[in-house]
Structure 1
């Protein structure tokens, strides 16, 4: 479901969201790009997906934020272990941030598809 709706929501949000909403999405992207522990990574990942859906002008997409909640992987370090961000994930997040900075709907759609490819598979950070 998220693979279908989040790119649409990202495209709309990139083009039409207000500055505060764009800043929230950018902050979540940047936080995931910085050195980060597992607990903060998981929270930033969820924040990004919820913010993208919530930024849509479409009420149905706004209500889909429940699908953006992440499943926490078991972590024997209680979330304190640092996450190794894969190059492909780093590139996808950088592309999404650039799309929102530039208010580029097409680029946001493409970048969100790439972010989801990482976030919805076992290939995301710490698993690659």
Structure 2
């Protein structure tokens, strides 16, 4: 599978996860019922730890990610680690943790990027990771 194909699969999976979270899982998102059935902007970030076997480093990263829920433009958040699903050629479980954040619009995501809580998260946790990949997804009508 090419990097482009893998990227397309991951983006599609992120969009699907966002739609599922927005329409049915109160644990995954706190979007109000008055919002559209899908979040307009999804920010999905994958983190690879420098020390992937360190439970302490993973706990620090997850704690840092949880602080991002305090940013006013974040409409929902889902934090996780790779699931123990069947290994297939299209599944990349090599990352250590991921976050999915939901925003009303690109302006909300832009405000998140410069928010003091986000900047503090980076300052406190960037020494933990060796790689980060971000997929920003804009919803399209079904």
Normalising by structure 2, what TM-score? 0.27
Q: Which has the higher helix share?
A: 1
Q: Which has the higher strand share?
A: 2
Normalising by structure 1, what TM-score? 0.29
Structure showing greater radius of gyration is 2
